[in-house]
Amino acid sequence: MASVAILNFLFGLVMYWQLSGFRPSFLYSGYGLYLTLGGVAGLLGLIAGFALRFRNTQRMKALGAAIGASAGPPTAEQQTEMRGLGQAVARGAQITTFLLVLAWIGMSVAQYAGF
pLDDT in tens, the chain (115 residues): 678 888 988 998 898 899 888 888 888 888 899 999 999 999 999 998 888 888 899 999 999 999 999 888 999 999 999 999 999 999 989 999 999 999 999 888 988 876 6
The count of domains in the chain is 1
**Whole-model pTM over 0.85:** no
Report the length, in residues, of the chain: 115
Q: What is the rounded distance in angstroms from the CA atom of residue 63 to the CA atom of residue 84?
A: 12
The pLDDT tens digits for 55-88 are: 899 999 999 999 999 888 999 999 999 999 999 9
Domain interval for residue 7: 2-112
Minimal CA–CA distance to 101: which of 23, 50, 48, 54? 48
Minimal CA–CA distance to 67: which of 56, 55, 53, 79? 79
The Cβ of residue 3 has, within 10 Å, a number of other Cβ atoms equal to: 7
3-state secondary structure of 102: helix
CB 29 within 8 A of CB 111: no
